Each structure stands twice: as structure tokens, then as C-alpha cells.
């Protein structure tokens, strides 16, 4: 169980109370009160009492959630592999185009040297 009296909790409560009373007195904007109320709602939600009241997931729900996570991981891995294959194909295509351009240039030069009369 966590310590509810450490410095961060005390400071958070003091700032939140100050924001709420400051908003009511008109010294700070209303957004400060919204932030303070959000702080308190999170504190209540994380309290041991509320955590005991919340229903625990059944083993079936846990298995379903785990199966969804595993399936999602497999899909992500497949997407990564597909992206790697596409990248490799692009590199191979660039290499083929470059070598074809060089071969075409060589053929063109050979044709030009053969067609020019020696003389």
C-alpha cells in the first residue's frame, strides 16, 4: 500500500485546495478548479476502497484480452516484415534500373563507335 502522506500528495492537495478556493474567491481562473477537481477524482479512483469495489476481470476476459494483444502483435510484426520487403524491393529495383541505364549507355556508345567511319 502506498503512503498517502508523502510530499507529492500533500503538495498536490494543498495546491488543489488553493486552486478551488482561489477560483471561488475570483483570484484564479476556473480552469484551475477543473484541474483541482480532476486531481481529486483521480485520487478517489485510485484509492484502495474504490479499487476493491471495481469488478475483477474473469479469467475468460483476461484470456480474450491476451489473445487480442497477441493477434495485434502478430499483425504489427507482419506489417514490419512487409515494409522491410518493400524497402528491399525498392533498393533492388533502383539497382536494376541503374545497371540497365549503364548497359544502355554502353550499347549506345558501342553503336556510335561502330556507325562512325574510321578514317
What residues of the chain score a pLDDT lower than 70? 1-5, 116-119
User: Which class for 95: exposed (0-12), middle (13-18), buried (19 or more C-beta within 10 A)?
Assistant: exposed
Question: What pLDDT, in 10s, does the model give residues 1-27?
Answer: 456 567 777 887 888 888 888 888 888
Task: Say whether both 18 and 45 belong to one domain.
Answer: yes
pLDDT of residue 1: 47
**Pick from 6, 37, 9, 10: which is nearest to 21 by CA?**
37
pLDDT of residue 5: 63
pLDDT of residue 116: 67
Rounded Cα gap, residues 111 and 104, in angstroms: 10
Task: Say whether both 3 and 32 belong to one domain.
Answer: yes
Task: Say whether both 62 and 118 belong to one domain.
Answer: yes
CA-CA-CA-CA torsion sign (88, 93, 98, 100): positive
Task: Say whether both 104 and 90 belong to one domain.
Answer: yes
Is the full-model pTM beyond 0.85?
no
Task: Say whether both 16 and 48 belong to one domain.
Answer: yes
Task: Say whether both 50 and 62 belong to one domain.
Answer: no
- What domain range includes position 31? 1-54
* Boundary-marking domain end, from 37, 54, 71: 54
Task: Say whether both 80 and 117 belong to one domain.
Answer: yes
pLDDT of residue 85: 95
Please tell me the total count of domains within the chain: 2
Amino acid at each position: 500500500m502506498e503512503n498517502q502522506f508523502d510530499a507529492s500528495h500533500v503538495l498536490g492537495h494543498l495546491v488543489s485546495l488553493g486552486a478551488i478556493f482561489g477560483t471561488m474567491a475570483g483570484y484564479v481562473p476556473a480552469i484551475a478548479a477543473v484541474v483541482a477537481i480532476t486531481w481529486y477524482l483521480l485520487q478517489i479512483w485510485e484509492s484502495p476502497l474504490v479499487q476493491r469495489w471495481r469488478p475483477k476481470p474473469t479469467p475468460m476476459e483476461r484470456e480474450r484480452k491476451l489473445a487480442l494483444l497477441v493477434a495485434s502483435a502478430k499483425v504489427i510484426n507482419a506489417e514490419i516484415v512487409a515494409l522491410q520487403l518493400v524497402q528491399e524491393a525498392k533498393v533492388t529495383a533502383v539497382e536494376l534500373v541503374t545497371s540497365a541505364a549503364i548497359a544502355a549507355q554502353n550499347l549506345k556508345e558501342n553503336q556510335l563507335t561502330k556507325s562512325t567511319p574510321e578514317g
